[in-house]
Amino acid sequence: MNLPRPILFAILLPFSILSAYALKEVGYLGIFTAHFHPAGLQVLTDLVIALTLVMVWMVGDARARGVTVWPYIVATLALGSFGPLAYLLVRGSASNALPVKSWA
């Protein structure tokens, strides 16, 4: 994935503002307790599945690039999408990207 940095910042800034607002209103644990009803559990489960897949991708990508990924994995586990967004910002632009491997 090679999104330009301005697009990543355009995603990160409003998401950060929304997250700060949610934390102010309900606190860190309140964000999770809001999901303990059937529809909320579905959304939470979907988020866990998606972020797990992203973490698997980050580990493989970082290994191929020879960089450490563990700070971003910890950030993902603690802060959700902030970890992958930070990884994408730090990992570099498309100019130093590795070729995409074909599964075919």
* Token pair 């999901």 in the structure block, residue: 35
Q: Say if residue 102's pLDDT is above 60.
A: no
Q: What is the pTM of this model?
A: 0.77
pLDDT tens track for 50-77: 999 999 999 999 999 999 999 999 999 9
pLDDT on residue 37 = 84
Q: Compute the mean pLDDT over every residue in the chain, rounded to the nearest whole number.
A: 86
- The Cα–Cα gap between 64 and 47 comes to 26
pLDDT at 10: 92
Distance from C-alpha of 30 to C-alpha of 49, rounded to nearest angstrom: 21
Report whether pLDDT(80) > 80.
yes
pLDDT band at 41 (very low <50, low <70, confident <90, very high): confident
63 burial via Cβ count (<10 Å: 0-12, 13-18, 19+): exposed
The string of DSSP letters for 2-51 reads ---HHHHHHHHHHHHHHHHHHHHHHHHHHHHHTT-SHHHHHHHHHHHHHH
